[in-house]
Structure 1
Amino acid sequence: MEQSTTIEIKDNSFARQFETIIPEGLLTVEYSFQERKIFLTKINTPDEFQDEIFLDNLIRTILDNAIEQRLKVVPTYPRIVQFFKKNPQYKELLPPGIRI
């Protein structure tokens, strides 16, 4: 089982992205809201960033926040879709009619 770590995330609502500072620079996850859904649309990482476990933990933290806010999640970015496939416990966050 992967180790879960606490990741400090800033919600930059003006830029519509979650941000976290890593040694390589700024890592962001872009989003948009529509009704009670959050669309996770893109992940931007520094060129030299390679830590897939950190990325999984970041996505997990964002999804846990969505659970707390009672939001449905629509993953449109392939890396986030891949996370949902590997972690079926989060599929309850998908809106009706969305299958992965």
Structure 2
Amino acid sequence: MIIKNNEFSRQFETTVDGQLLTVEYSFQEKKIFLSRVNIPEQFEGSETMSDFLKQILLVAEEKKWKVVPIHPKVAAFFRKNPVYRELLPPGIKI
């Protein structure tokens, strides 16, 4: 899966089966706030959604950003995948 960081729209993007998937973000003090998930219904809760979030978190890890999961789907991903909790800033509990 190839993702694009669309800095102008402040969202990560990928296309799967001709469908656009996006995760909107804001950025402040080396923290990325994942605030909105726009995923077509057929990908809800799927491996595709999980893979997309993993790719976004890989970018955050490479850039040494901390991740604040604002959107409930992102928070749920962190709960199901505790290996990524090291990306949470101090004081954020999921």
Structures share fold, TM-score greater than 0.5: yes
Q: Is the aligned partner of 1:18 residue 2:1?
A: no
TM-align CA RMSD: 1.3
Deviation at 1:46, TM superposition (A): 2.6
Matched residues, number: 94
What is the correspondence of 1:17-56 to structure 2 with a 5 Å cutoff? 17-50=11-44, 52-56=46-50
Hey, which of these two has a bigger chunk of helix by percent? Answer: 2
Structure 1 segments of 4+ aligned residues over 2 angstroms from their partners:
46-51
Greater gyration radius: 1
In structure 2, give the amino acid aligned to 1:25: Q
Distance 1:55 1:47, change over 3 A: closer
What runs of 5+ residues in structure 2 fail to find an aligned partner? none
**TM-score, normalised relative to structure 1:** 0.87
Distance 1:24 1:33, change over 3 A: same
